[in-house]
Amino acid sequence: MKRLMLLLAVLSAAPALAQSTLEAVRSKGFVQCGVNTGLAGFSQPDSKGVWRGIDVDVCRAVAAAVFGDSAKVRYTPLTAQQRFTALQSGEVDILSRNTTWTITRDTGLGLNFVGVNYYDGQGFMVPRKLNVKSAKQLGGATICVQPGTTTELNLADYFRANNMKFKPVVIEKLEEVLNAYFAGRCDVFTTDVSGLVSVRGSRAPKPDDHVILPEVISKEPLGPAVRHGDDRWFDVVKWSLFAMLEAEEMKLSSKNIDQASSSKDPAVQRFIGASGDVGKMLGLDNRWAFNIVKQVGNYAESFDANLKPLGFERGLNRLWTQGGIMYAPPIR
């Protein structure tokens, strides 16, 4: 009797266990997206409480692809230490939080990185008054850093490799780290260069009083991640990101996508869903990519709206046709 009851319990649980992320997202009516607690240009609420940033735009793109409505997203602010557990546990459907793609995270943590939406590297910011010109002059410095990050590991590696010592000030929450740095509790703040540019432009009382040193000590490919084991959802999120890149390359934007229906270009016709069944292959409407570009924009539009005002330059994040390394596989 006990065995029968156990079998019935397993069978009744099977449909719930078998439910894919895409099905679950459709069932609840929104995408739950894990984002930064507040990093200007990447993910941060504006003065009206509306989340904005290039990481936020990835979440909006997925919602546009799945629902035809980029507004159907809810955001979960996560610290560096909280982010992976939140994704693994199913608290969020996507982690789009300036997170570095590494082999440990891709394998040991059971994550799948869908691609890169910002190529970055780690750097150092110091007060101008210290008159420091190079990271090689930081021996003995007190350095503010967040735990649970590649930043913390790279910092230790760099100082060990250069036979220098430092005093770490390890603080989990970004707001508290910045308060410590700007209050003078540490000589240096280290994170990805994008983060340094962001906080200098948006948080420093006097941005010109702080200098970002020339050394970039690591590779930090930042991108969204999903859980292992659900290839359909992996495909949906991956190609939502690629659609923004492909749209820029094809010169399709939120301003001209409506006119694309008159294009004779077969690639454009496939992209907007006027021919072929690309959307159906993803389990989506054939206008999935059209909806992304119409409602969110292409990659350049996202970059220019969120990062350019803070002083970011495209650099490596230019398209491959323009001297950068941003590249999307063909949508065909």
Assess whether pLDDT exceeds 70 at residue 273.
yes
**Does the pTM exceed 0.85?**
yes
Q: Helices marked H in the chain — which ranges?
A: 2-18, 21-28, 54-67, 83-88, 103, 150-161, 174-182, 193-202, 231-249, 266-272, 278-282, 288-295, 299-306
Report, as an integer, the average pLDDT of 280-296. Answer: 97
The type of residue at 75 is: Y
Task: Give the model's pLDDT for residue 18.
Answer: 57
Mean pLDDT of 275-291: 96
pLDDT digits (tens, 9 = 90+) for 136-194: 999 999 999 999 899 999 999 999 999 999 999 999 999 999 999 999 999 999 999 99
Structural domain boundaries of the chain?
A: 21-119+222-322, 122-218
Q: Taking the domain 21-119+222-322, which CATH number applies?
A: 3.40.190.10
CATH topology of domain 122-218: D-Maltodextrin-Binding Protein; domain 2 (3.40.190)
How many CA within 13 A on the CB side of residue 10?
A: 6
Q: What's the whole-number average pLDDT of the chain?
A: 94
> Is pLDDT above 90 for 70?
yes
**What does the pLDDT look like over 10-42, one tens digit per residue?**
344 434 445 799 999 999 999 999 999 999 999
pLDDT score recorded for residue 19: 79
* Secondary structure (3-state) at 238: helix
Instruction: Round to whole Å and give the CA distance between 158 and 173.
Output: 23
Average pLDDT, stretch 285-308?
98
Q: Band of the pLDDT at 122, cuts 50, 70, 90?
A: very high
